[in-house]
Homo-oligomer: A and B are copies of this chain.
Amino acid sequence: MHKMHLREIADLVGGELLGDDVEITGAAGLEDAGAGDLTFVNRASLLPQLATSAASAVLLGPGMETDRPAIRCENPYRAFAKMLEFSLPNPDRVFPPGIHPTAVVAADAQVAAASVGPYCVIGAGTTVGEGTRLGAHVALGPDVTVGCDCQLYAQVTVREGCRLGDRVVLQAGVVIGTEGFGYLPGPAGLERIPQVGTVLIEDDVEIGANSCIDRATTGLTVVGAGTKIDNQIQIGHNVKVGRHCALSAQSGISGSCTLGDGVTMGGQVGIADHVTIGDGVKVGAKSGIMKDVEPGDTVFGVPALDVKETFRITGAMRRLPDLLRRVARLENLENLEDLEDKDDGEARS
């Protein structure tokens, strides 16, 4: 980033300057910050770590104190994120402007993009909107629509007929629109069910590296506006993902599932086919969901249950080996009693 004075930054993030109005040349996390850097502390428990940091200044939360130059503000992490924007590389360096002469663009494609990287392939009837940037080796099939101000990184594939809205980000290696896993048993083995639908990725969606979204059998597989999808995620055919969801890495959503709006999922979650997940549902990492989940629920485990129940069960499981011993002891007491009864009987006889 270019040099800024701390007061300038305080004004920018709406915070209160504490101490000297020093000059700032970068922004970095507590562990990485050096001289000239602005860092942040959003939990008082991190203040001791700040004491040993070389950072020149710090963004602090309400009520925190330090003897180095600081900006106190409502949400230091958000303020820090704002400052990071000044450290981003010039997009023209990452995506050199213009259509690279090696790009193979179909005669009837309409490409208004800001940048088309070397060796991109753009199919017949495909449209790419203004401000969109394509990295190297991006392959857009025929009849694809890419909106405005999108970023598609290297080696991305978008298959025929699929549509992306505006400001969509596809990280490297993303694959949109392959045929889903649909087969019927036939006399000669499994027979492909034709997948004639497509995929719709709505505005402001971001999809992580090497993730895959299958095309619908008919109609659309949909990822709703504002949803963020992490790396190596698999979304099956006919799935409808709602708006503003956040799905963490390596999760898989089987065919024909429906996710509501604002769903959040930890990593490595799996959802069986045809399941409906309500609005605002939270799913713990590694969960396996086999049936519908009501809006607002928080679920966890395999099979996924209410998170409190799963915690109760996993807590109880740790006591299970001991429980086996305790029950055996009770049975022994019973047996001894039986034995005593018998002894009594014998004594009586």
Contacts and interface: CB of A to CB of B under 8 A. Distances in A.
A238 B194 contact: no
Nearest to A233: B232
A157 B157 contact: no
Given A173-B173, A209-B212, A320 B327 contact: no
Interface of A is mostly: loop
A66 interface: no
Copies of this chain assembled into the complex: 3
A254 interface: yes
A208 interface: yes
A141 interface: yes
A178 interface: yes
10 tightest CB-CB pairs across the interface, nearest first? A32-B219, A84-B194, A189-B226, A139-B154, A28-B218, A157-B172, A121-B136, A87-B196, A175-B209, A136-B139
Interface of A: 27-29, 31-33, 77-78, 81, 84-85, 87-89, 93-94, 96, 100, 102, 104, 117-119, 121, 123-124, 135-137, 139, 141-143, 153-155, 157, 159-161, 171-173, 175, 178-179, 181, 183-184, 188-197, 204, 206, 208-210, 212, 214, 216-220, 225-226, 228, 230-232, 234, 236, 238, 243-244, 246, 248-250, 252, 254, 266-268, 270, 272, 285-286, 288, 302-303, 305, 309, 312-321, 323-324, 326-327, 330-331, 333-334
